[in-house]
Chain A
Amino acid sequence: LSPRSFSQAYAKFSGAPLTVNTISNSWRAPKGDVPVLISEDTVISQPAKILNFLRKQKYNADYELSAKQGADTLAYIALLEEKLLPALASIKKCLLHTFWVEAENYCSVTKPWFASRIAFPLKLYLPGKMSREALNRILLTRGGPPLCSLTEVEAQIYRDAKECLNLLSKRLGTSQFFFGHTPTTLDAFVFGFLAPIYKVCFPRVQLQEHLKQLPNLCRFCDDILTCYFRLTVSGHSPAGQDTADANLQKLTQLVNKESNLIEKMDDNLRKSPQHPPRKLTTLKLAAGGEENSPSHRLSP
């Protein structure tokens, strides 16, 4: 799920030299929790735990925060998990739903990914299973009387998500980051949730439309993308086209995580005899360096 982008953003803010591995989580990992951060020998999951872990290792982007601001961070993270996460899970389900059922999406976006990759009959089995899983998760935590039908549950989920976006927008106001001029844990967290909604390329994602009506949140995402992921808004890195393509590919993989299709692709490719083996996607974050300094200025 999207909190992966949060961990990477957080690690970038605080300069932690960590390797982030994307790991296939839908069929093998017992809990299915992402993101997973591997540091030396410890494997941990769930964003809040990652925060604690990083703090203990003394890579702390929140050093300057007051106790109250630290408490606020925790509260807003709870808000995001409660109100925005179900919508992201729902988007994932919708993506899969539209992927298989809606012709226009299939032809224009998804066919290139899948046409030659996943062998039949996996093609038919996987998204159905994933959407059932995602659906179950949503229904378990959200459904129940008086919301019984799926559309009612989804409607409530989107209402909650839109309210959450509005609250975030109000909280951010005209500030650059949530606690002033320096990005903190909360900024990384919010970015992790917003970036996939902001950047997902499927048509008709209503939550994306709502997000685009909150210009300060869009500006917030763009700032972090340009500043910490070395991409201009149009997606080109100043360093040259090759790097731009590589960065863009990484970013696309990063922010389109909702479908989990990429891991599945990698997984199937590795197992399939007719394709050359491919490694799991890894993103190495530079240790130290000026781009990770919290005082790094935004380029105009």
Chain B
Amino acid sequence: IHLLSTAAEPWPENAALYQQLKEEQILLSDNASSLAVQAFLQMCNLPIQVVCRANAEYMSPSGKLPFIHVGNQVVSELGPIVQFVKAKGHSLSDGLDEVQKAEMKAYMELVNNMLLTAELYLQWCDDVTVEEITHPRYGSPYPWPLNRILSYQKQWEVRRKMKAIGWAGKTLEQVLEDVDQCCQALSQRLGTQPYFFNKQPTELDALVFGHLFTILTTQLTTDELSEKVKNYSNLTAFCRRIEQQYFEGHDKDNSATAAARSAKRSLLR
């Protein structure tokens, strides 16, 4: 990122966020990541339009979603997007001291380490979910046999990564236990505060919201995943609070609201 030229241009009206097709294609993990970025931008008061493309994954510079197209620059994933937005003069964590910033980063790693990986595990390594949800959805915009080829290729890729990080040997039960441990930590850290760093939301709040809200509102082959989150009432209240504050009461045209609404619908075909 060339920071000088980044800072020079103000945030354009036509900034766009790219993800896969909402109704038929997008999976749990990508939906969570997309929602996290949308929440972050909403919190920064930066307008963004959600654009759905079947080949969004291939358009992304890093292969990961979502990515944003702002001016003539393309940035993918929450971390780099936060930095990019900061270069343009917007930040949610400037008010934090050094120790709080360290803590924020640590908790963001926890979410990536446990929640995101658990989502990936569920959708690519749990046979029932793979068969009933993932395979039908992932390649759905494409004709047979391309749809199956793409899907198997992706599955192979993800399983390779799972092996590398030691998750391939886990059972679903163990994965759900990890999710529970993560939720417990988040719940304890949040306590009775409205946001993780009290009065103002930060990128951590956006990230946690993206994942928890998606888990809570996505119908899978089993309710076990969402039940883990529901065990912690302050976390569900947290999700409701952010949804009301940043996603409701906006234009019907606002793609963020649309995304939140469609996330409520079943992802089960």
Chain B contact residues, majority secondary structure: helix
The reply to whether B185 and A171 form a contact with Cβ atoms under 8 Å apart is no
Residues of A near B10 (CB, < 8 A) are none
Report how many A-B pairs have Cβ atoms within 8 Å.
Answer: 74
Asked if A252 is an interface residue, CB under 8 A from chain B, the answer is no
**Which residues in A have some Cβ–Cβ distance to B below 8 Å?**
31, 33, 46, 67-68, 70-72, 74-76, 78-79, 81-83, 136-137, 140-141, 144-146, 167-168, 170-171, 173
Residues of B near A136 (CB, < 8 A) are 164
The reply to whether A141 and B189 form a contact with Cβ atoms under 8 Å apart is no
The reply to whether A173 and B112 form a contact with Cβ atoms under 8 Å apart is no
Asked if B266 is an interface residue, CB under 8 A from chain A, the answer is no
**How near does chain A come to B255, taking the closest CB pair, in angstroms?**
27
The reply to whether B102 and A71 form a contact with Cβ atoms under 8 Å apart is no
**How near does chain A come to B213, taking the closest CB pair, in angstroms?**
20
Residues of A near B99 (CB, < 8 A) are 170-171, 173
The reply to whether A72 and B166 form a contact with Cβ atoms under 8 Å apart is no
Q: What's the Cα separation between A78 and B185 when bound, in Å?
A: 12
The reply to whether B166 and A31 form a contact with Cβ atoms under 8 Å apart is yes
The reply to whether B61 and A171 form a contact with Cβ atoms under 8 Å apart is no
Asked if B113 is an interface residue, CB under 8 A from chain A, the answer is yes
The reply to whether A74 and B181 form a contact with Cβ atoms under 8 Å apart is yes
The reply to whether B62 and A145 form a contact with Cβ atoms under 8 Å apart is yes
Residues of B near A71 (CB, < 8 A) are 184-186, 188-189
The reply to whether A78 and B189 form a contact with Cβ atoms under 8 Å apart is no
The reply to whether A167 and B165 form a contact with Cβ atoms under 8 Å apart is no
Residues of A near B109 (CB, < 8 A) are 75, 78-79, 81-83
**How near does chain A come to B24, taking the closest CB pair, in angstroms?**
26
With A141-B161, A146-B61, A171-B99 already in contact, the answer to whether A70 and B188 are too (CB < 8 A) is: yes
The reply to whether B164 and A75 form a contact with Cβ atoms under 8 Å apart is no
The reply to whether B103 and A74 form a contact with Cβ atoms under 8 Å apart is no
